[in-house]
Amino acid sequence: MFSRTDKANMAAGVMVLLLSLSALAFGVPQNASQYIPYVVKVISVYVCSGVIIHPHWILTAAQCFGSSKSAQIHWNNLVVDSTKVVIHPDYISVLEPGTVILGNNDLALIQIKETINFSRCVSKIELDGSEWPQDYTKYNRPCMAFGTSRHRATSAKENYVHARLYKAEHGDQACECLPLNLKPQLVCMKEADETFCAEDLGGPLICDNKLVAILHTLYDLRNCKKHSTKVAPACDKRTTISVCTYICPYLTWIKHYVPTIPDRPPSCRSSPIITPSALVVLFYFVFIVITHS
């Protein structure tokens, strides 16, 4: 009989093989560069990646915009302008370039002018509306990340996308270097894996052929337990791990603009951090109590 560990390892191996075959079906072997139909380059104050979730909407990271409210979307040799950029209302922006606050609701929606006509070359990705697995893959889930940065090894062309397989983890025992209160809204890649690159931020993490998370930051392990950190400047450094924004807690917000996405499951915990809007409400009630006492 196989032990539970042996079964878990074999199952994980099968999943990695299936993901590899799925990638090859798209013409994307690991660390290769090709077009992926739902991945785009987002050009605003910073250059990031993004993912098509609707004929009119792109999901990406809020940090890409700085003080700007516009963007250009590049994919498949096409360029489209935005009509609206919606930053998550509780996103905490920072003034110092290259600095991010971990778990700061780092999501943005881009509405584009033209309707995307889906085809073999351009399509959307479905969002995952189920809870994170609670079995042996909870801390060892095979997933694939996509980004539009120039890949160091393959010298990818600017409009090409590269892909990497990761073992992703989410839960109280995941992201062991990060503060416990941030873990419900983050997904991490195993420290032994390679990291993505800065221009991949905003790109998708795909698990079981659905969008699960958005690439958020490269976290320097030397800043362990700190909420604010400099984005690691280089890819594949041993001192960094890849951190993503888990979209499950944000499905209700996204659905307000894109009604076709799935509902947030009750089991999916929302962000526990105190957000700016929550602080406003708190201060309001304190003010009422003081003035009426």
Given this model, what pLDDT does residue 193 score? Answer: 58
Residue 41 vs residues 77, 80, 212, 279: alpha-carbon distances, Å: 11, 11, 19, 34
Strands 240-246 and 210-220: antiparallel
Question: pLDDT under 50 in the chain at which residues?
Answer: 2, 4-5, 7-33, 151-156, 271-289
Q: Which domains does the chain carry?
A: 1-293 (2.40.10.10)
C-beta separation of 61 from 201 below 8 A:
yes
Given this model, what pLDDT does residue 258 score? Answer: 97
* Global pTM value: 0.77
Given this model, what pLDDT does residue 7 score? Answer: 46
